[in-house]
Amino acid sequence: MNSLISKQYMLHGKNGFAKLSLDEESNNMKPLFDTIVNTIKEPAGSDEAPLQLLVSNIDYDNFTGRIGIGKIENGVIKNGQMVALCKKDGTIQNIKIGKLYTYMGLKRVEVDIAKCGDIVAVTGVEGINIGETIADPENPKALDFVDIDEPTVSMTFSVNNGPFAGKEGKFITSRHLRDRLFKELETNVSLRVEETDKADSFKVSGRGELHLSILIENMRREGFEMLVSRPTVIYKEIDGVKCEPMELLTLDVPEECVGSVMEKMGLRKAEMTNMSASHSQAGYSRLEFKIPARGLIGYRSEFMTDTKGNGIMNHIFAGYEPDKGDVTTRVRGTVIAFEQGKSTTYGLFNAQERATLFIGAGEEVYQGMIVGENSRTDDLTVNVCKEKHLTNTRASGSDDALKLTPHKILSLEQAIEFIADDELVEVTPEHIRLRKRILDPSQRFREEAKKK
């Protein structure tokens, strides 16, 4: 299908008609459907050949268990049929199909038989996974499949133990958290969940910050409360050498912003592989780098600031290479609430001159909660709940209304990128808060002194 047709389909599809050219008259989608039939090749397999069904996706049902979804490359499959499951480790398991479904639109429809080229869903196959082949038991031949990338980033999910724990969420215990994370493994094949030495904490590994933040957002909407740590990369030892995951990074940036982007890339141990004029837009340069995966943590928001929101960023996993050493990420400190209470305009007014605030007046805070980003490298503790003392003395202009600069509202992804190793993100159905791992300031000071 050529690009002109696909663009017109996108433009007119919601109105129920498509055109081969803008000059034509049309009141239906027939031109698009005819083009699909004439352009897309029919299945290359045969109904007469031995059965081969490649599982390319999985789903889960509380009643039937795992559901394997894939396209029949060869042969015919029937409801209740005995088949061979060709596992990725080379073993073959004889199983019986429970129920067989095809798709009618977005709905599953149970059928008795499906033929070559059909996209089907099968139940009753315990432990089925992506990349495995359902084949003829008399002639079991596995199909080739591209391996799924292994996790490269991990985070710690733990029970919310802050002062506001249990006020907003429905699922707040370690049992709720554990059950939900292990249930996610049934459908999220790139995810790994490990129990830690603490009963209320779990190590969750995925294919990047976005992969894990989608899980966190889904759990948040379901009513979970939890604490999540800063993402850390997963190292491997290859031939006795400590190696870390690398990413191929492509940036399309305005030409006047190239200098600032190059400077940040240098701090994050990125190695430039190519620089050229962008093919997509005039006045832009395309920069290509090989960069450690940990160098990308927290960079997206900086990149959008450096390019005034006009930059385009893409990256893909590039394998493992020897450890690149220390990587500079966040260089600024935080503003920390001194006590629990409700923030006031008076308390925030002086702090905004030295920091970028994350909260406004009238918000509930607690001791150890991060309320802003300091303009310097050290952390700053501020009493944001402080109220102005009233006296009988008045001076000219002293009673003018204090005005706050609009505060910065962090999204979940921005919050996860922002935090340091000694900080956590508190996620609830109603709020996303940043906090220090140790809330008590004196105890936090002692821990920092021990490290020095």
Our CA angle for 133, 119, 35, nearest 5°, is 130
- Give pLDDT, residue 424: 94
- Give pLDDT, residue 10: 41
Distance of alpha carbon 422 from alpha carbon 437, whole angstroms: 5
Architecture of domain 236-322: 2-Layer Sandwich (3.30)
Give the residue ranges of the chain where pLDDT is below 70. Answer: 1-14, 146, 280, 390-400, 452
Please provide the DSSP assignment of 163-229 as one string: TTTTSS-SB-SHHHHHHHHHHHTTT-TT-EEEE-SSTTEEEEEESSHHHHHHHHHHHHHHTB-EEE-
- Report how far apart the first and last C-alpha atoms of the chain are (Å, whole number): 64
Distance of alpha carbon 26 from alpha carbon 35, whole angstroms: 15
Distance of alpha carbon 203 from alpha carbon 192, whole angstroms: 8
Tell me: domain 334-389+402-418+435-451, CATH 1.10.1370.40, correct? no
- Give pLDDT, residue 124: 82
- For CATH 2.40.30.10, the residue range(s) in the chain are 52-135
Architecture of domain 52-135: Beta Barrel (2.40)
- For CATH 2.40.50.250, the residue range(s) in the chain are 334-389+402-418+435-451
- Give pLDDT, residue 126: 77
Maximum Cα–Cα distance across the chain: 97
Residues 6+ apart with CB under 8 A from 85: 92, 93, 94, 95, 125, 128, 132, 133, 134, 135
Residues 6+ apart with CB under 8 A from 334: 370, 372, 373, 374, 379, 380, 423, 434, 436
* pTM of the predicted protein model: 0.75
- Give pLDDT, residue 280: 66
Helices 209-222/174-184 angle, 10° precision: 130
- For CATH 3.30.70.240, the residue range(s) in the chain are 236-322
- Give pLDDT, residue 4: 40
- Give pLDDT, residue 14: 65
- Give pLDDT, residue 152: 85
Distance of alpha carbon 287 from alpha carbon 249, whole angstroms: 8
- Give pLDDT, residue 62: 80
Long-range contacts of 432-435 (CB under 8 A, 24+ apart): 433/162, 433/164, 433/369, 433/370, 434/334, 434/358, 434/369, 434/370, 434/410, 435/162, 435/366, 435/368, 435/369, 435/370
